Amino acid sequence: MSAAIRAARFIPEVLLIEKHSRLGGLNSYFYRNNTLYETGLHAITNYADPGNKQAPINRLFRQLKLRRKDFSFCQQIKSEVVFRNLESLTFSNDFDVFDTEIRKKFPRAAVRFQEMIDFINHFDPFLPSPFRSTKFFLAEKLQAPLLAEMILCPLMYYGSSRENDMDLSQFVIMFRAIFQEGMFRPRGTIKEFLDLLFTHYLEMGGSLRKNCGVKKILIRQNRAIGVELEHGETLECDHILSTIGHDETLRLISGAGASQSTDLARLGFVETMYSLQHKSTPSLPKNKTIIFFNDGERFSYKNPTDFVDFRSGVICFTANFQGLPQKSMMEIRSTHLANYGKWKHLSTQPDRYSCQKQDTSRRSAQMLENLIGSFATNIVYEDTFTPVTIERYTAKINGAIYGSPEKVKDGNIGYPNLFLAGTDQGFLGIIGSMLSGVSIVNQHILPKL
Amino acid sequence: MTNEDIKNLILEIIKDIDDEADFESHDPDKALREQLELDSMDFLDIVMELRKRHKLQIPEEDYPHLATLNSCVRYLQPLLKDA
Model confidence at B21: pLDDT above 90: no
Pairing verdict, β A87-91 and A79-83: antiparallel
Q: What is the DSSP letter of B62?
A: G
Hey, which CATH number is domain B3-19+31-80, 1.10.1200, 3.40.50, 1.10.10, 2.30.170?
1.10.1200
Q: Where are the domains of chain B?
A: 3-19+31-80
Nearest by CB to A62, from B17, B51, B60: name it.
B17
Q: In this predicted structure, what is the pLDDT of residue A108?
A: 97
The H-or-E segment that residue A291 falls in is strand A290-294
CATH 3.40.1390.10 fits A2-73+187-262+402-448, yes or no: no
Please check whether residue B17 touches A, CB under 8 A: yes
Q: In this predicted structure, what is the pLDDT of residue B22?
A: 84
pLDDT digits (tens, 9 = 90+) for A146-185: 999 999 999 999 989 999 999 999 999 999 999 999 999 9
CB atoms inside a 10 Å sphere around CB A16: 21
Mutate to test the interface with B, among A11, A441, A446, A448 (most CBs of B within 10 A): A446
Chain mean position to CA A339: 18
Model confidence at A258: pLDDT above 70: no
Q: Where are the domains of chain A?
A: 2-73+187-262+402-448, 77-181, 268-394
Q: How many inter-chain contacts (A to B, CB under 8 Å) are there?
A: 28
Of A434, A2, A15, give the one whose Cα is nearest residue A238.
A15
- What CA dihedral angle connects A305, A165, A385 and A291, to 10 degrees? 110
CB atoms inside a 10 Å sphere around CB A67: 12
Please check whether residue A127 touches B, CB under 8 A: no
Predicted TM-score (pTM) of this structure: 0.93
- Chain A: residue whose CA lies nearest to B48: A10
Please check whether residue A348 touches B, CB under 8 A: no
Nearest by CB to A59, from B41, B48, B60: name it.
B41
- Compute φ and ψ for A133, nearest 5 degrees: -70, 125
Give me the amino acid identity at A52: N
Please check whether residue A446 touches B, CB under 8 A: yes
Give me the amino acid identity at A53: K
- ipTM surpassing 0.90, yes or no? no
pLDDT digits (tens, 9 = 90+) for A34-88: 889 988 889 999 999 998 988 999 999 999 999 998 999 999 999 999 999 999 9
- Chain A: residue whose CA lies nearest to B45: A63
Please check whether residue A10 touches B, CB under 8 A: yes
Q: In this predicted structure, what is the pLDDT of residue A313?
A: 98
pLDDT digits (tens, 9 = 90+) for A335-367: 999 999 999 999 999 999 999 999 999 999 999
With an 8 Å Cβ cutoff, are A53 and B18 in contact? yes
The residue with greater pLDDT, A289 or A263, is A289
Euclidean distance between CA atoms A6 and A83, whole angstroms = 42
Euclidean distance between CA atoms A321 and A334, whole angstroms = 17
CB atoms inside a 10 Å sphere around CB A241: 23
Mutate to test the interface with A, among B22, B36, B45, B60 (most CBs of A within 10 A): B45
Please check whether residue A208 touches B, CB under 8 A: no
| Res. A261 pLDDT band, cuts 50 70 90 | low
Residues of chain A with Cβ-Cβ distance to B42 below 8 Å are 59, 62-63
Nearest by CB to B37, from A10, A53, A446: name it.
A53
| Res. A327 pLDDT band, cuts 50 70 90 | confident
Residues of chain A with Cβ-Cβ distance to B39 below 8 Å are 54, 59
Pairing verdict, β A240-242 and A418-420: parallel
Mutate to test the interface with A, among B34, B44, B50, B62 (most CBs of A within 10 A): B44
Q: What is the DSSP letter of A313?
A: E
Buried b or exposed e, range A73-89, using 16+ CB within 10 angstroms: bbbbbbbbbbbeeeeeb
Of A288, A284, A292, A291, give the one whose Cα is nearest residue A322.
A288
Cα-based distances in Å from A419 to A143, A272, A390, A427, B42: 40, 34, 23, 15, 22
With an 8 Å Cβ cutoff, are B45 and A63 in contact? yes
Euclidean distance between CA atoms B24 and B26, whole angstroms = 6
Query: Lowest-confidence range among A62-71, A252-261, A414-423, B46-55?
Result: A252-261
Pairing verdict, β A412-415 and A207-209: unpaired
Pairing verdict, β A329-338 and A73-75: unpaired
Model confidence at A256: pLDDT above 80: no
Residues of chain A with Cβ-Cβ distance to B51 below 8 Å are 10, 449
Please check whether residue B52 touches A, CB under 8 A: yes
The answer to whether the CB of A91 falls within 8 A of the CB of A78 is yes
With an 8 Å Cβ cutoff, are A446 and B60 in contact? no
With an 8 Å Cβ cutoff, are A438 and B41 in contact? yes
With an 8 Å Cβ cutoff, are A54 and B37 in contact? yes
Q: How far is B34 from chain A (nearest CA, A)?
A: 11
Euclidean distance between CA atoms A186 and A193, whole angstroms = 7
Mutate to test the interface with B, among A63, A64, A443 (most CBs of B within 10 A): A63
The residues in A 51-80 lying below 8 A from B, measured between CB atoms, are 53-54, 59, 62-63
pLDDT digits (tens, 9 = 90+) for A93-134: 999 999 999 999 999 999 999 999 999 999 999 888 889 999
Q: In this predicted structure, what is the pLDDT of residue B81?
A: 87
Please check whether residue A22 touches B, CB under 8 A: no
pLDDT digits (tens, 9 = 90+) for A226-250: 999 999 999 999 999 999 999 999 9
The answer to whether the CB of A249 falls within 8 A of the CB of A420 is yes
Q: In this predicted structure, what is the pLDDT of residue A19?
A: 94
pLDDT digits (tens, 9 = 90+) for A266-324: 999 999 999 999 888 888 999 999 999 999 889 999 999 999 999 999 999 999 999 99
With an 8 Å Cβ cutoff, are B41 and A446 in contact? no
Please check whether residue B39 touches A, CB under 8 A: yes
Q: In this predicted structure, what is the pLDDT of residue A25?
A: 86
With an 8 Å Cβ cutoff, are B39 and A54 in contact? yes
Residue A155 CB-density burial (10 A; 0-12 exposed, 13-18 middle, 19+ buried) = buried
Euclidean distance between CA atoms A233 and A289, whole angstroms = 47
